[in-house]
Amino acid sequence: MVRRIRILVLLLVSGVSVAASGADNPVSANNDESHSSLPDLASESAKKEEQENKGKTFKERGADYFINSATQGFDNLTPQALESQARGYIQGQVTSSAQSYLEGMLSPYGKVRTSLSIGEGGDLDGSSLDYFIPWYDNQSTLFFSQISAQRKEDRTIGNVGLGVRQNVGNWLLGGNAFYDYDFTRGHRRLGLGTEAWTGYLKFSGNYYHPLSDWKDSKDFDFYEERPARGWDIRMESWLPFYPQLGAKLIYEQYYGDEVALFGTDNLQKDPHAVTVGLNYTPVPLVTVGTDYKAGTGDSNDFSVNATVNYQIGTPLAAQLDPENVKIQHSLMGSRTDFVDRNNFIILEYREKDPLDVTLWLKADATNEHPECVIEDTPEAAVGLEKCKWTVNALINHHYKIISASWQAKNNAARTLVMPVVKANALTEGNNNSWNLVLPAWVNADTEEQRTALNTWKVRMTLEDEKGNKQNSGVVEITVQQDRKIELIVDNIADTDRSDHSHEASALADGEDGVVMDLLITDSFGDSTDRNGNELVDDAMPTATIRKTTKLGVASILRWRKMPAARDLCPRLPISSRCTTPGLAAQSIPSRAGRWTVKTTRTAPPI
């Protein structure tokens, strides 16, 4: 099998300009003929070759190509050389055909400038297409649009612009606005430009403003990128007495801490650059030039370029006529020239934080009582006690995380017990989550105190092996209550009773008696917290049962023997109420020396 030899064939046909059918295009120094077409340009040899190839098939032309190549030396007859020749010929034919098709399709409606380059892998890196459309032109005012596309540095960028040019005396003044879009990376940029042209002299200026925000960079790990903000001023001139010789001067300035004005290998802070160029146009068809670009620090670049400006529909003889160079650079001849701007989006970069953590909250979908969720947002959780939530974390880090901890306190110095977090279990991304059960609600004398006791601000703190520390943003967790409080009464004989009653009787013999207590339950009827401990309410007021004993509010049974012929509240008349706010007990005398004690079933909300 013949070994493949990789070849990069660059076909740069830049600056191909096509005049619109019927558009004004001066071709001679005579003003009366300034709107005529350029004369026919074909040389005798070119015409002869064209006549010879005319009528030949692609196969015949290919055979002629290889025979002519082979006759240049016997080395070309090797299999490797023939493969290389075939690849180069096919790429050249495809490039030429595609370029001719584009120019022929678009040229009747404006001017098209193409630069096509096809690599061995079929990529178009280094290629560009510009399309200038004069929508309205009355020889004084010109409204136009320009559409461009280019493939450079593995990025495909498109540009769409609108502009106007107006004759003012011996000057052509204009303005334009462009929208630039990076199809590969999604960057967006706005461009605003001004123009002031006269014969053999052009001034233009452009401002570039980013429209898209920071995105993860594909050029560097742990970096973000976006379009850089900047501007440039451009000047082009030609010698009136010798218009074949021209020069250009460009000053450009961009802003940012790390800007790739000279490529991604040379990021600079607020870089600027000056480009000086010379060009020589012997005939309208061909321009050769050299540019030198120097910028911040030791940054510089030197390039040599050759441009072929071919006008479809114009005879080749006219494009090879040196006399037409002067018309090409005149005010009328440059009226529909392309806007001079940087269509490539220059990027600025910034390093991501080496350590970053973001918290957010989400109510657990498996809650037995979904109504326990009162408010559920990423920044705040409001629910009833024992309601379940998840605490989630998005973590980005460059280095190994060695420490992770919670900070969860409130204004009343009450600590919220958070789930265990292990540094070695944390992962890059948003796959970090912990389950949290809201704690018991705690009562207080005032609403302000209750809010302070039952609201926490929670954040996570991380530290990596390089000593970088990072706190997450704060999320807020609030526990609300919907408790029920009952005053219950049981006979002292019912020690193991769980279904408490609101009515009990006992003999008035000094031995029998009743037990009174407060029963506290949550909104779902449970009398214990998330840890199985009985609910308590230290802020509830007390009630007097005997002279020396007060009814405690803690959920602990208090055993009391009923004194003979005495009311439970000796300070009050018999058959009167003994109350706490919202709770009441009443003793009622009955026959056979018995007392019946009744209590209210529930207390009003706290």
Contact 61, 335 (CB under 8 A): no
Per the model's pLDDT, the better-predicted residue between 37 and 533 turns out to be: 533
Which amino acid, one-letter code, is at 52? E
Q: What is the pLDDT of residue 238?
A: 92
- Phi first, then psi, for residue 558 (nearest 5°) are -110, 115
Among 4-18, 231-245, 378-392, the minimum mean pLDDT is found in: 4-18
pLDDT at 87: 54
Find where tokens 């120097």 sit.
294
Cα–Cα dist 398/221, whole Å:
9
**Residue 78: pLDDT band with limits 50, 70, 90:** low
Q: Assign 32 a pLDDT band (cuts: 50, 70, 90).
A: very low
C-alpha 370: how far from its chain's center? 35
Q: Is there a contact between 402 and 423 (Cβ–Cβ < 8 Å)?
A: yes
- Per-residue confidence (pLDDT) for residue 28, from 0 to 100: 36
What's the pLDDT band for 546 if we cut at 50, 70, 90? very low
pLDDT at position 174 is: 97
**CA dist., res. 23 & res. 35, Å (int):** 8
Percent of the chain with pLDDT over 90: 35
pLDDT, residue 411, reads 77
Cβ-proximal residues to 532 (8 Å cutoff; 6+ apart), any chain: none
Which residues have CB under 8 Å from 401's CB, separation 6+? 355, 395, 423, 424, 426, 462, 463, 464, 465
Residue 7 has pLDDT above 80, yes or no: no
- Are the CB atoms for 518 and 553 separated by under 8 Å? yes
Q: What is the pTM of this model?
A: 0.55
**Residue owning tokens 């009366």:** 32
The Cα 220–Cα 347 span in angstroms is 12
In this prediction, residues 576-596 reach a mean pLDDT of 45
Q: Tokens 């010929």 identify what position?
A: 89
If you write DSSP's letter for every residue of 354-422 in order, what string do you get? SEEEEEEEEE-TT-SSGGGEEEE-SSEEEEETT-EEEEEEEEEESS-EEEEEEEEE-TT-PPP-PPP--
Q: Is the pLDDT of residue 339 over 60?
A: yes
Q: Cα–Cα distance between 331 and 170 in angstroms, integer?
A: 8
Helices (H) and strands (E) in the chain, counts: 6, 32
Per-residue pLDDT, 450? 86
pLDDT in tens, 268-304: 999 999 999 999 989 887 788 888 989 877 778 887 7
| Residue 160 in tokens | 């769409």
Window from 79-83, 158-162, 429-433, 532-536 with minimum mean pLDDT: 79-83
Strand partners, 393: 359, 432
Burial of 193 (0-12, 13-18, 19+ CB in 10 A): buried
Say which range, 2-6, 228-232, 473-477, 590-594, has the weakest mean pLDDT: 2-6
Ramachandran assignment for 64, one of left (phi > 0), alpha (psi -120 to 50 degrees), beta (any other): alpha
Highest mean pLDDT among 173-187, 316-330, 434-448: 173-187
Q: For position 498, what pLDDT does the model report?
A: 64
| pLDDT given at position 557 | 30
pLDDT at residue 24 greater than cutoff 60: no
Going by pLDDT thresholds of 50, 70 and 90, the confidence category of residue 97 is low
pLDDT for 33: 37
Give CA–CA dist 297/370, Å, rounded.
65
List Cβ neighbours of 447 (8 Å cut-off, separation of 6 or more): none
> Is residue 9 scored above 60 in pLDDT?
no
Predicted pLDDT of residue 143: 96
What's the pLDDT score for residue 447? Answer: 84
Q: Are 405 and 357 in contact (CB under 8 A)?
A: no
Q: Is the pLDDT of residue 86 over 70?
A: no
Question: Which of these ranges, 87-96, 120-129, 199-208, 345-354, has the smallest mean pLDDT?
Answer: 87-96
Written in H, E and C, the secondary structure of 296-333 is: CCCCEEEEEEEEECCCCCCCHHHHCCCCHHHHHCCCCC
Q: How far is CA 208 from CA 193, 366, 477, in A?
A: 9, 52, 46
Most confident listed range (107-121, 171-185, 211-225): 171-185
pLDDT at residue number 284 = 81
Ordered by where they begin, the domains of the chain are: 31-351 (2.40.160.160), 355-480 (2.60.40.10), 484-599 (no CATH)
Averaged pLDDT of the chain = 74
Rounded to 10 deg, the angle between the 79-106 and 58-70 helix axes is 130
The stretch 106-121 carries a mean pLDDT of: 62
User: According to the per-residue pLDDT averaged within each range, which of 7-16, 212-221, 443-452, 549-558 is highest?
Assistant: 212-221
* Range 370-373, long-range pairs (CB < 8 A, 24+ positions): 372/523, 372/524
pLDDT in the model for residue 499: 67
Alpha carbon distance 169, 174 (integer Å): 13
Residue 353 is predicted with a pLDDT of 80
Q: 432: which strand partners?
A: 393
The closest alpha carbon to 94, from 73, 122, 66, belongs to: 122
Instruction: Check if the beta carbon of residue 309 is closer than 8 Å to that of residue 287.
Output: yes
CB 428 within 8 A of CB 396: yes
Nearest CA-CA partner of 114 in 11, 229, 196: 11
Query: Which 3 state secondary structure label does DSSP give 114?
Result: strand
* pLDDT higher than 60, residue 177: yes
pLDDT score of 401: 92
97 backbone dihedrals φ, ψ, rounded to 5°? -65, -45
For residue 371, list its beta bridge partners: none
Nearest to 150 by CA among 178, 114, 189, 179: 114
Q: What is the pLDDT of residue 103?
A: 52
